[in-house]
Structure 1
Amino acid sequence: MSNFTKSLKENRIGILFMVLASLQTALGQMFWKMSDGGINFFLIIGFFLYFLGAVMMIVSFRFGSLSVLHPLLSIGYVFALFFGSIILQETITESNLIGTFLIIVGAALIGGGDN
């Protein structure tokens, strides 16, 4: 078994929790933007989702290595790009796609690089 596969296997629960934490924090930030700077339902939902993401991040550290899991928070940028495009109708540029691809590749390499 390669080191990459071994690391993924050893950290799989932590990786799953960290990806879910990234998803929740990205959703929270999207709701903050939808609040348009006002104190309203969107802002409250955004804080709640961001809080859940922070708790999920803390829990994930119990199930894997810090050096593997923490960099996976960058997956939140990928989620934010797609939420911005799909829900907020923001434009995705070529440089956004290249950057997103690099984030995904980097996160995959770090996620499998425990030893």
Structure 2
Amino acid sequence: MRIIKQDIILGVLFILMTLFGALGGYAFKRLSTYKPGINKGFLFFFLSGGMLYFLGAISNIILLRYLPYTILYPLSSVTYIWTILISYFLLSEKVTRKKIVGITLIIVGAAFLIK
């Protein structure tokens, strides 16, 4: 029972790690629309992006304690799945067939790495 509970916690932490990375990238994309300097938009997205990347890094460090490096880092490519969804829904970017094929290959590759 304890192993199952730990696996669930690690799974949630992994999802959060990849989501933090994708949201950090989104914040920096939004940051790029502001002039650098002391203004609300620039500071908000700069601090948000930095904090999200920081949370992703902390999550990554915790996960490395429990998961092999050779599994965790390749699985980090799941971040690109979040990125496609975020870019489509929040930035109205196009999702092409090539992108869908790429995401599908990431999912298939990740499935091979999971126990």
Structure 1 length as normaliser, TM-score? 0.80
Amino acid at match of 2:63: S
Deviation, 1:15, is: 4.2
- The sequence identity of aligned pairs, in percent, is 33
What's 1:67 paired with?
A: 70
Deviation, 1:68, is: 1.6
Q: Report whether the alignment pairs 1:54 with 2:57.
A: yes
1:71-110 mapped onto 2 (5 Å cutoff): 71-110=74-113
Task: List alignment gaps of at least 5 residues for structure 2.
Answer: 37-41
Q: Provide the C-alpha distance between the structure 2 equivalents of 1:58 and 1:111, rounded to a whole number of angstroms.
A: 19
Structure with higher RCO (Cα < 8 A, 6+ apart): 1
Of structures 1 and 2, the larger Rg is shown by: 2
Residue number among 20, 27, 49 corresponding to 2:23 in the alignment: 27
Supply the RMSD in Å over aligned alpha carbons. 1.8
Q: Provide the C-alpha distance between the structure 1 equivalents of 2:22 and 2:16, rounded to a whole number of angstroms.
A: 10
